[in-house]
Amino acid sequence: MDPTDAIYPGSYYSLLGFLEGKEAPFDDPGAVLPTPDCDLDVLLGRIVPEVPAPGPVPERRSAVRKFHELQVEFQGQSELWAVHAMAIAVLRRRDPPEDVRQLFLRIWREKGQDLARDLPVRWLISAATTFADHGDTFEQRSGGMGLSLLFDLIKLHDSERRVSGRSNDRAFPRVRGRPRNHPLAFGMEPYSLKKGDLDRIMLARLWRLCEEDKTLQPLGFRMLRMVMTDKRTVFSRLQRYRSKLNHD
């Protein structure tokens, strides 16, 4: 591939450099994270208080600084949410400690229902990505990667769609008399809006992965139920196209 043709300047070399910069590990995460055998019930019941302004600002790789930012974000909520988020932050970096991985998995194994019910969507997606990288089982790693990509691509697709000015709960109208054979990227065959099953198979396979792993299940079920019920995604719009085409 000619790098001058790349849609991202520098092609994958620059993307990898960007990623590696993001993966620089935090200093001394043990200063802010509990051990894997900590009392999760105490953390769940403890509320993050109003956090005082920091003193001299530590460097960006400081675990203390990152945890302070998370405490600010989760003020008034369970301390377990802040600890869970800090575990994710550490695990997204290079060479994370094994005890942090064990803490993350234990939190989801024992308190998954609480997290799945109450966490903001951005942290559900981050948890899925962390399962993809650090899960114990095939289902956790594959399901986590599938959920992460599913939500990331919905976000990318529907953010780009907003440029049209049309709300995401409204399908585009059919424009009669105009050519409908614009080619897809890579020479792919277009998806059949009337008879296609790609969307149904994708969602069913993800549900099955989540169903088969009790630790991943609360997270996966929450995220996939959101896809099943929210009218503002491409999946909902596809159903409306399909229904209309099959009744024409």
22-25-31 Cα angle (round to 5): 135
d(CA 232, CA 16): 33
Is the residue at 31 inside a domain?
yes
What's the rounded Cα separation, in Å, for the pair 169 and 164?
A: 13
* 92 touches 57 (CB < 8 A): no
Query: Which residue, of 119, 145, 164, is where some domain finishes?
Result: 119
Q: Report the pLDDT value the prediction gives residue 94, as an integer from 0 to 100.
A: 94
Write the CA distances from 38 to 4, 107, 119, integer angstroms. 53, 10, 21
If asked whether residues 244 and 142 sit together in one domain, one would say: yes
214 in the same domain as 108: no
| pTM score, whole prediction | 0.90
Number of domains in the chain: 2
Are residues 145 and 98 part of one domain?
no
**With 60 as the cut, is the pLDDT of residue 1 above it?**
no
**Which of 123, 96, 99 shows the shortest CA–CA distance to 112?**
123
Long-range Cβ contact pairs of 170-175 (< 8 A, separation 24 or more): 170/237, 171/237, 171/240, 171/241, 172/237
- The pair of structure tokens assigned to 69 is 């930012």
Q: According to the model, what pLDDT value does residue 4 have?
A: 65
Please state the φ and ψ torsions of residue 27, each to the nearest 5 degrees: -80, 130
Q: Can you give the pLDDT at residue 123?
A: 98
Q: Is residue 245 part of a domain?
A: yes
C-alpha angle with apex 197: 193 to 203, nearest 5 degrees?
Answer: 120
Assess whether 73 and 15 both reside in one domain.
yes
| Shared domain check, 203 and 143 | yes
Q: Do 12 and 87 have their domain in common?
A: yes
Percent of the chain with pLDDT over 90: 64
Query: So what's the pLDDT on residue 184?
Result: 86
% pLDDT > 70, the chain = 92
Domain that holds residue 210: 136-172+190-248
What does pLDDT average to over the chain?
90
